[in-house]
Amino acid sequence: MEYSGTPARTRAPDVLKALSRPTTTSPVILLAEDSEDDAYFFQRALRRTGLPHTLKRARNGKLAVEALKEAIEAPEAGVLPHIIFLDLKMPIMGGFDVLEWIRSSPASGRSSVVVLSGSDEAADRAKASELGAHSYLVKPITESQLREQLQKIFVGENSPGAPA
């Protein structure tokens, strides 16, 4: 699902669907999240930050990788996300596998990755950092946590590829 600033009122299909075209002034954000509830709360928090944006959502890791591949291979079809918010526990392909793929691809490796997880385990945090995640947030996230992450990334406190 893709939206610009406000969430769609209907349930998202399993494939990414464009509801608006990204502009050069709106950062593109990819949310890889299988939970409808977590996606809703993320979208609501993002909207409340007031940041103009285009949000794309993938319901599992495989769809996230497909969306990134499409943006790399056919730039006219999609814009490579500036930021990827990545759930770790997803069906078909998990977040760690997606993160490994992102960091192994030079083009997608430029995107900043923020891990979203229900786990506060030190081993998960360490692995995410090893794989190049910029930050690790434990769900549910608040509007202020989201705003802080976006400011860090867009203001340049975190450079792409630098671990948290």
pLDDT single digits (tens) 43-99: 998 988 888 889 999 999 999 999 999 888 877 666 889 999 999 999 999 999 999
**Measured at the alpha carbon of residue 44, what is the angle toward residues 43 and 50, in degrees to the nearest 5?**
95
**SS3 track for 4-27:** CCCCCCCCCCCCCCCCCCCCCCCC
Q: State the fold for domain 2-155.
A: Rossmann fold (3.40.50)
In angstroms, the CA 76 to CA 94 distance is: 28
Residues 6+ apart with CB under 8 A from 121: none
pTM over the 0.95 mark: no
Strand pairing category for 83-87 and 112-117: parallel
